[in-house]
Amino acid sequence: MNFFSSDLKTNIKQNLKTFSQLKSVYGIDAIYRTGEFEYFSEKSKKLNLEGVPKSRPTLKLSEMYEENTIKDEDILEPIWYSTNIHDSIQYCNRQGKINCETYKYIPYDKSLIKGKKLLFLDLTGKKIGDKYILNVPLIKQIYNYILEKWRGTILDDNTNGLIGDNDVIINNEEKYMCVDNPCQNTFSINEIINAYGYNDGTRDSEHYIDKFFTIELFHLIRDLGIEEELNCVFMGYFESNILSRDTYLPAELAMPYKCAINKNYMYFDGLEVKDLRLVKKRKLTGGKKIKTKIKTKIKTKIKTKIKTKIKKNKTKKV
């Protein structure tokens, strides 16, 4: 069944940006990821892309989610990044963990191999003061698609059964649905849509809902065929500092697992924090620069020797 609204695809395409464009608009220069090193992928480490988590079974809903409890890996599982190193470190600070490491990455604008554009969906909307709200028209379109797609799994608390075709889904606290598979976390529709600002563009983040929304968004992009149409790679979503019910949620970037493990999509800038302490990094110098420095040193030594010999000869003549 086709759940796409007429202008959903157009609106998504209009809000796709390269990392350089995000840098220009929002003043970010890199992305950071913090985690416990015991959960990092050794395979990615060998490819010189450290800090990537191990693959894990997906919690995504399926058409027959009540029966489908054996879950496989999903290359569209989201991996979250911060755009500020201190926000990233808070992941471990809040949970009282100490065996953590923070790594820095800089996404490219084009893939190093095939030269395809690498594009992020910018969910950021209007600026209010020095913060932002989400792009409400775009968020509404995405949510309408998601809730219509899973209409058959939404429970009506009044009837203790699934909602009917004519029932109103939005803004009804008595309607609920599972956000994972197998069903372990159930939320009201209001809680689900408030997580990404359906009504006013502010965030009311909840881990399980955030993951549900993001997985559905990533699969939506795939199903729309945007990558094929634009000959690009979809790198995930970005949102700047978004106002929330309490204060605000720091800027974040969510990336599909398949992109997070691809060294052709991001420059790996190394370890930044280990055990909550900043690491002093040695600047890496490219091969050409090293050769240039060596040549310069050799030339300088030769010139110095020649000058010394000339001075000595002049002295002898005198």
Global model pTM greater than 0.85: no
Q: At 252, is the secondary structure helix, strand, or coil?
A: strand
pLDDT at residue number 98: 67
pLDDT at residue number 281: 61
List the one residue out of 144, 123, 102, 71 whose CA is nearest residue 254: 123
pLDDT at residue number 291: 42
Q: Tokens 């094929």 label which residue?
A: 228
What gap in Å lies between CA 12 and CA 115, rounded to an integer? 22
Q: Where are the domains of the chain?
A: 8-284, 289-318
Regions of the chain with pLDDT less than 70: 1-6, 37-39, 41, 46-47, 55-57, 59, 62-73, 93-98, 157-173, 275-276, 280-318
pLDDT at residue number 92: 73
pLDDT at residue number 74: 73
Quote the tokens at residue 86: 């201190």
CB within 8 A of 17, min separation 6: which ones?
Answer: 25, 119, 120, 122, 238
